[in-house]
C-alpha cells in the first residue's frame, strides 16, 4: 500500500470519507501524520471512528491548524461556489489537494499513464490495463475506476500505474505529470462544477500538464476541442503527440475505421487488425477507446502480437454495454455507466429493436440529443426523477411507460420484448445519474443484473 510518509508529523484534514477519502486517511495515519477527518454521513463517521481516526467537524468546531486539506472529488472546489471548508482552508494557508496528489508525493518508482475524457475513460483504462497485464508487464489500475490510488501497491522501476482521472481529480492534483496522457473527448458534462465549457476544457487539458518532450500525448483529433489542444501542444513542443481517429487515417497515430484498426504510431512497427467482431469492442465509441489503448500500449513497447492477443481476450467493462444474459431471442444489456445522453448514444447506436430503460437524476440537456436514434427504440421504460421530463421529450416519437422502480421497469421491459417474438434487446442505458435512487451507477447496474438473473431463473 502507498503509505504517506511525506506528511509525517504534519496536520492533515480529510473532508469526505468515501472509498478514496478513507483510503487516504488510513495511509496518512499509518505514515504518522496527524489526521482530522469529517463527513456529513453519520455512517461514514462511525466507520472512521472504528478505524481509530480522529473526527472533527471542520466547520462547526472551527478550522484546526493544518498543512493540507485532502478534499473528496465530490465536494465543490470552485463552482457553483467553493464549499465553506475550502474557503476556510485557503484562508488558513493550507493547500487544498486530492488523493492523487498525496499519491504522487509517495510514489517512488513506476511510470504513470493518465486517462481522461467525458466518456470512454473507464473502458479505455480497463483495456490499457488488460493489454499491459496480458503482455506480462507489472501494472496497477486505479483512480476514478476501482481501487483508490492510496490502496495501490508500490511498484518498482519497471512498473506502470494506469489511472483514470476525472475532471474533479485533475482539479485537485497540481503536481500531475504523466509519462503517457490520454484525452478522449470533451462534451458538456459537470458544467455546474466548472462554470462553463471553457472551464471544463481547461481542467481536462491538465492531463498534459508538465509533460516534456519525453512524454506522450494521445489525443482524439475527431473532437474539435481536443484537436485544438493537440495543436497547442504541438506549437509549444510539450510532448510527442499520437493522434487517434475513427474517421480518418492518421500519420504517426492509430485509427479504427469501420472496425479496421491501423497502428502507425511507431516507426519500427506498423500493423492492421479487424476488431469489428470483438463483442467487447462493439461500436464506434469502443473503436475510439481501442485506438487510444493501442496507442498507449504501443508507446509502452508492446509488440503488435502482444496487442492483438490482448484485444482479442478483452472481456469488456462491468456496467458498460455488459451482456447479462438472454431469454429466448431477448438479450439483456447493462449499460448503467451511461450517466448522460452522450454515453447512452453509444449503446443506442449499437443495437436495434431496443426496449430502453432510462432515467434517474437528469443531466443538462436531458435526452433531447438522442432524438436521431429514437427510431431504434421499440418502447421506453422510464424511472427516477427524470421520468416526467424524459416522457415529455419522447411524446409523439417513442411509446413509453413510467415505472416506480428499476426492478419494475426491468420486468415490464422483459415482458414487452418477449411478447414481440423477434430479436430484441432490453437495454439499461439511463442517460442520467444514479443518485436519486442508488448510491452509484455500479449499485444501479448490480440491481439490474440481479433482476435479470431472477427473470432468467424463472423462465427456465
Same domain, 124 and 214: yes
Q: If you write DSSP's letter for every residue of 379-404 in order, what string do you get?
A: EEEEESTTHHHHHHHHTTTS-EEE-S
Same domain, 164 and 245: yes
Q: Which CATH number is 121's domain given? A: 3.40.1190.10
Q: Which of 34, 121, 319, 379 is catalytic?
A: 121
Domain endpoint, select from 284, 313, 342: 313
CB 129 within 8 A of CB 162: yes
Predicted pLDDT at 11: 94
Helix (H) or strand (E) holding 286: helix 284-299
| Range of weakest confidence among 143-147, 344-348, 384-388, 410-414 | 143-147
Per the listing, cell 433482476 goes with 451
Q: Report d(CA 141, CA 130) in Å as an integer.
A: 10
Q: If you write DSSP's letter for every residue of 62-113 in order, what string do you get?
A: -PPP-SEEEE-TTS-SSSSS--HHHHHHHHTT-EEE-HHHHHHHH--S-EEE
* Residue 220 among the catalytic residues: no
Same domain, 193 and 79: no
Same domain, 134 and 277: yes
Which of left, alpha, beta for 226 (phi over 0: left; psi -120 to 50: alpha)? alpha
Query: In angstroms, what CA-CA distances link 5 with 24, 92, 453?
Result: 12, 23, 46
Q: What is the pLDDT of residues 86-115, one digit of tens each?
A: 899 999 999 999 999 999 999 999 999 999
Same domain, 261 and 113: yes
Cell of 390: 424524459
Same domain, 354 and 229: no
Q: List strands edge to edge, sheet with 330-334.
A: 322-327, 330-334, 424-428, 354-359, 377-383, 400-402
Residues 6+ apart with CB under 8 A from 152: 1, 2, 103, 140, 142, 161
Q: Which of 5, 107, 190, 373 is catalytic?
A: 190
The range of the structural domain enclosing residue 27 comes to: 5-100
Q: Is residue 374 exposed (0-12), middle (13-18) or buried (19+ Cβ within 10 Å)?
A: middle
Same domain, 167 and 37: no
Q: If you write DSSP's letter for every residue of 116-162 in order, what string do you get?
A: E-SSSHHHHHHHHHHHHHHTT--EEEEESSSS-GGGSPPP-TT-EEE
pTM for this prediction:
0.82
Per the listing, cell 456496467 goes with 319
Same domain, 362 and 228: no
- CB atoms under 10 Å from CB of 279, counted, come to 11
Per the listing, cell 499513464 goes with 113
Q: Report d(CA 165, CA 169) in Å as an integer.
A: 6
Q: Which of 119, 144, 220, 289 is catalytic?
A: 144
* Residue 190 among the catalytic residues: yes
Q: Is the dihedral of CA 239, 142, 152, 135 positive or negative?
A: negative
Q: If you write DSSP's letter for every residue of 315-363 in order, what string do you get?
A: ---TTSSEEEEEETTEEEEE-TT--SHHHHHHHHTT-SSEEEEEESEEP
Cell of 454: 431472477
* Residue 144 among the catalytic residues: yes
Same domain, 366 and 389: yes
Residue 194, φ and ψ in degrees, nearest 5:
-125, 5
Residue 134, φ and ψ in degrees, nearest 5:
-70, -20
Predicted pLDDT at 94: 92
When divided into structural domains, the chain yields a total of: 3
Q: What is the pLDDT of residues 299-331, one digit of tens each?
A: 999 999 999 999 999 988 889 889 999 999 999
Mean pLDDT throughout 6-20? 93
Cell of 100: 492523487
β-strand pairing of 322-327 with 269-274: unpaired
Q: Report d(CA 186, CA 384) in Å as an integer.
A: 27
Predicted pLDDT at 59: 84
Domain endpoint, select from 39, 68, 100: 100
Same domain, 259 and 337: no
**Model confidence band, residue 434 (pLDDT cutoffs 50, 70, 90):** very high
Same domain, 66 and 140: no
Q: Quick one: which of 348, 360, 363, 455 has its CA closest to 412?
A: 455
Same domain, 276 and 235: yes
CB 438 within 8 A of CB 444: yes
Predicted pLDDT at 136: 97
Q: What is the pLDDT of residues 236-291, one digit of tens each?
A: 878 999 999 999 999 999 999 999 999 999 999 999 999 999 988 988 889 999 99
Domain endpoint, select from 313, 342, 369: 313
Amino acid at each position: 500500500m502507498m503509505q504517506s510518509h511525506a506528511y509525517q508529523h504534519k496536520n492533515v484534514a480529510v473532508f469526505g470519507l468515501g472509498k478514496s477519502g478513507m483510503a487516504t486517511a488510513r495511509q496518512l495515519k499509518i505514515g504518522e501524520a496527524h489526521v482530522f477527518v469529517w463527513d456529513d454521513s453519520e455512517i461514514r463517521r462511525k466507520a472512521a471512528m472504528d478505524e481509530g481516526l480522529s473526527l472533527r467537524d471542520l466547520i462547526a468546531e472551527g478550522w484546526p491548524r493544518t498543512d493540507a486539506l485532502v478534499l473528496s472529488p465530490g465536494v465543490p472546489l470552485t463552482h457553483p461556489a467553493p464549499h465553506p471548508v475550502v474557503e476556510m482552508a485557503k484562508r488558513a494557508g493550507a493547500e487544498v489537494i486530492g488523493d492523487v496528489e498525496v499519491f504522487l508525493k509517495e510514489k517512488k518508482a513506476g511510470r504513470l499513464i493518465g486517462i481522461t475524457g467525458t466518456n470512454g475513460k473507464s473502458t479505455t483504462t480497463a483495456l490499457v490495463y488488460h493489454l499491459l497485464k496480458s503482455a506480462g508487464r507489472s501494472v496497477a489500475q486505479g483512480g476514478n475506476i476501482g481501487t483508490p490510488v492510496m490502496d495501490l501497491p508500490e511498484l518498482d522501476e519497471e512498473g506502470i500505474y494506469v489511472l483514470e482521472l476525472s475532471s474533479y481529480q485533475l482539479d485537485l492534483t497540481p503536481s500531475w505529470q504523466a509519462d503517457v496522457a490520454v484525452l478522449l473527448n470533451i462534451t458538456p458534462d459537470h458544467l455546474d462544477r466548472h462554470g462553463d465549457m471553457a472551464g471544463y476544457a481547461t481542467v481536462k487539458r491538465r492531463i498534459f500538464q508538465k509533460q516534456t518532450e519525453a512524454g506522450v500525448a494521445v489525443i482524439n483529433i475527431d473532437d474539435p476541442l481536443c484537436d485544438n489542444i493537440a495543436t497547442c501542444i504541438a506549437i509549444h513542443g510539450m510532448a510527442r503527440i499520437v493522434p487517434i481517429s475513427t474517421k480518418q487515417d492518421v500519420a504517426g497515430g492509430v485509427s479504427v475505421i469501420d472496425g479496421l484498426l491501423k497502428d502507425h504510431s511507431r516507426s519500427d512497427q506498423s500493423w492492421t487488425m479487424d476488431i469489428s467482431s470483438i463483442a467487447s469492442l462493439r461500436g464506434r465509441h469502443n473503436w475510439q477507446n481501442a485506438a487510444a489503448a493501442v496507442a498507449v500500449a504501443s508507446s509502452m513497447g508492446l509488440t503488435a502480437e502482444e496487442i492483438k492477443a490482448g484485444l482479442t481476450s478483452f472481456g469488456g467493462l462491468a456496467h458498460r454495454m455488459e451482456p447479462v444474459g438472454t431469454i429466448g431471442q431477448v438479450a439483456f444489456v447493462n449499460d448503467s455507466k451511461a450517466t448522460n445522453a452522450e454515453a447512452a448514444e453509444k449503446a443506442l447506436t449499437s443495437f436495434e429493436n431496443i426496449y430502453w430503460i432510462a432515467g434517474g437524476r437528469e443531466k443538462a440537456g436531458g435526452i433531447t440529443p438522442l432524438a436521431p436514434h429514437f427510431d431504434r427504440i421499440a418502447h421506453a421504460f422510464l424511472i427516477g426523477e427524470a421520468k416526467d421530463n424524459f416522457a415529455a421529450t419522447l411524446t409523439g416519437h417513442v411509446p413509453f411507460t413510467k415505472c416506480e422502480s428499476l426492478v419494475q421497469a426491468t420486468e415490464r421491459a422483459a415482458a414487452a420484448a418477449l411478447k414481440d417474438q423477434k430479436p430484441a434487446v432490453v437495454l439499461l442505458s439511463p442517460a442520467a445519474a444514479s443518485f436519486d435512487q442508488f448510491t452509484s451507477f455500479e449499485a444501479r447496474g448490480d440491481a439490474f443484473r440481479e433482476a435479470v438473473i431472477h427473470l432468467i431463473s424463472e423462465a427456465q
